[in-house]
Structure 1
Amino acid sequence: MSGSRLQGIFTPNLVPYQADGGINEGELRRYVDWLIDRGVHGLYPNGSTGEFTRFTPEERRRIGAIVADQTRGRVPILAGAAEANVRETLAACEYYADLGVRAVAIVAPFYYKLSPGSVYAYFKEIGRNTPIDVTLYNIPLFASPIDVPTVQRLAEECERIIAIKDSSGDIPHMIRMIKAVRPNRPEFSFLTGWDAALMPLLLVGCDGGTNASSGVVPELTRKLYELTLARQLDDARDLQYDLVTLFDTMLYQAEFPDGFRAAVTLRGFQMGQGRQPLSEKQHADLSALSNTLQCLLAAHGFADQPVKGCTPVDVWSTPPQAGKVQPDEISRIVQSVVAELKGRGMM
């Protein structure tokens, strides 16, 4: 194990496309500089937001190489290294080790739903042979879940497995993992990939996050992180409410990650046409979504208002939808976490 503990906001890098669908290297490099200049703590190429499954293994390595070259050590890099099998994943680990990135993130096996025993065996093989530190990536929506006993066992047996990124949004699950792992691995890092609950997850003990919203509004996610750690909870809660509205809009009103790509375009980048074909209606819906996103960004001074203007956005009146975290739920979670911290004399 080498390097410092993973902490802060690691931005999942979107990839700009050229007109022919290739990687727009110049725009990607400009995007990397922009993110670093706006205070992200680290970068995360080849994650879900970066559409890693839509690139060839060679393209994924090229993306990682571009990001590493442009970053030049200014911030740490957590590179997605998930491939189709253990052999190819370990080859990717070797490649990223040679690039000098801080660590790799590896999703549990996808397509085939595996038992906890098989998930353990998969990561154990990687943990025994990797030349670079590994972050487990739990995203049960798309891959075999990594349960708490498996995380605890891998943390205790594999020194090279140093962290977990959890994108389930399940706060009790995160609490159970922290309680199970930290007594024996106090340096083990816990990152959340669920932007809608970033504040409460930081309060229960997460070290940071890999948050797609940080690729659009890096200023806000960093500020939310800092306010929460400083226990300026009223200001942090207000910011979390705004982030939920933006996150829900980008996530639920377009095919993932097209809503995030549309928002980054509004921040001045030529993202190009994604590789996933869209119907005429989807193109029209995305155009309408861009207008909504422009209004949300304008509210924080990150974009001009559209010519036709904006209607007031009231986060409290947003109708609940499946999978969304509502502001009243955030308030309840924050209040319970604060009460627990006070009870333990930690505030």
Structure 2
Amino acid sequence: MTIPAPLTGVVPPVCTPLTPDREVDVPSLLRLVDHLVDGGVSGLFVLGSTSEAAYLTDRQRRLVVESVAGHVGGRLPVLAGAIDMTTPRVLDQVASVTAAGADAVVVTAPFYARTHPAEIGRHFRLVAAGSPVPVLAYDIPVAVHTKLPADLVLDLAAEGVLAGLKDSSGDLTGFRTVVTGARTRPDITGFSVLTGSETLVDAALALGADGAVPGLANVDPHGYVRLDGRCRAGDRDGARAEQERLCALFGLVGVGDPARMGGGSSALGAFKAALHLRGIIDCPVTAEPQVPLSRGEVERVGTFLAAAGLR
């Protein structure tokens, strides 16, 4: 299907359930998709950071896209990460995920080698020229060690190279620059500006963002859809209350002991533990070499769910 221009609402970055032997658990994945669709989301983003895309083989990546796109059957747009180090490798990913049914691709700046803004611009132009579907930029400097310059993003939007931006940079000033430019520049139309923050969705929408891509929406899609609706209805008090409930729930990402695991292991492990405790996925295992949560840490995830009214 064609993605809306702009794409609005809640577009969760879908977790990838795994079996105990670290293969894609397709039945659990499809239950998770049903859970998100029932929650009222506006689209699905597979093969992003929350999807553990960096840990999946190319075969597993394609299986995820084929499974989700086939199950959704055009009811919602399916965005797929085409994330790799260099332009030729990204173009290979684009070919794979679009053949598997993706309606749009989400692409980071190149990484491994240090790049100049001119090279980043060339990268996106070449990817867009080789992609049969719209391309959205993914600004995630914590993973690729490059911050996308706001002026470059806006220029690429004006050229028609980029259809949107998923901003997970944490740079609110840069985010605001893109939101304002997308709204005021006459040479930009239909460009989607999406926040990747779990805790600032109400603020991002107030600034003029089109929607949100929060990993926590896997656990509570209904809450983020309520938040989006209250923001759009002008219910500031209701939106603030819902955002504060979700901020408290987001505390579950910190249950892992930092003395023995990284923040990614803790956050993704907590998301999957929450989905397992809610009966949505069969197994909360994360991909290697991430460190699993302990039994006590999983129990702490349960207390966050209970406090949020989800158990």
Which TM-score applies when normalising by structure 1? 0.80
User: Could you tell me how far apart the structure 2 residues matched to 1:228 and 1:194 are?
Assistant: 15
Matched with 2:276 is: 265
Q: Is the 8 A contact 1:251 1:257 kept in 2?
A: no
Q: Is the 8 A contact 1:151 1:181 kept in 2?
A: no
Q: Is the 8 A contact 1:90 1:129 kept in 2?
A: yes
User: Which one has the largest radius of gyration?
Assistant: 1
Alpha-carbon RMSD = 2.0
Matched, 1:189 2:189: no
Distance 1:177 1:227, change over 3 A: same
Distance 1:57 1:45, change over 3 A: same
Report the secondary structure of 1:58's partner residue: helix
User: Could you tell me how far apart the structure 2 residues matched to 1:98 and 1:278 are?
Assistant: 30
Residue 45 of structure 1: CA displacement?
0.8
Residue 252 of structure 1: CA displacement?
6.7
Q: Is the 8 A contact 1:105 1:136 kept in 2?
A: yes
Matched with 1:295 is: 303
User: Could you tell me how far apart the structure 1 residues matched to 2:152 and 2:286 are?
Assistant: 36
Amino acid at match of 1:263: A
Residue 64 of structure 1: CA displacement?
0.7
User: What percent identity do the matched residue pairs reach?
Assistant: 30
Gap regions ≥5 residues in structure 1:
304-347
Matched with 1:83 is: 84
Within 5 A, what are the aligned runs for 1:152-301?
Answer: 152-157=154-159, 159-182=160-183, 183=185, 184-250=187-253, 253=256, 255=265, 256-268=267-279, 269-277=281-289, 283-284=293-294, 287-301=295-309
User: Could you tell me how far apart the structure 2 residues matched to 1:68 and 1:127 are?
Assistant: 21
Amino acid at match of 2:273: A
Report the secondary structure of 1:161's partner residue: coil
Q: Is the 8 A contact 1:169 1:197 kept in 2?
A: no
The higher relative CO (CA closer than 8 Å, separation ≥ 6) is in: 2
User: Could you tell me how far apart the structure 2 residues matched to 1:162 and 1:283 are?
Assistant: 38
Q: Is the 8 A contact 2:180 2:208 kept in 1?
A: no
User: Could you tell me how far apart the structure 2 residues matched to 1:251 and 1:124 are?
Assistant: 38
Matched with 2:75 is: 74
Matched with 1:147 is: 149
Distance 1:125 1:33, change over 3 A: same
User: Could you tell me how far apart the structure 2 residues matched to 1:3 and 1:48 are?
Assistant: 21
Report the secondary structure of 2:300's partner residue: helix
Residue 14 of structure 1: CA displacement?
0.9
Gap regions ≥5 residues in structure 2:
257-262
Q: Is the 8 A contact 2:11 2:43 kept in 1?
A: yes
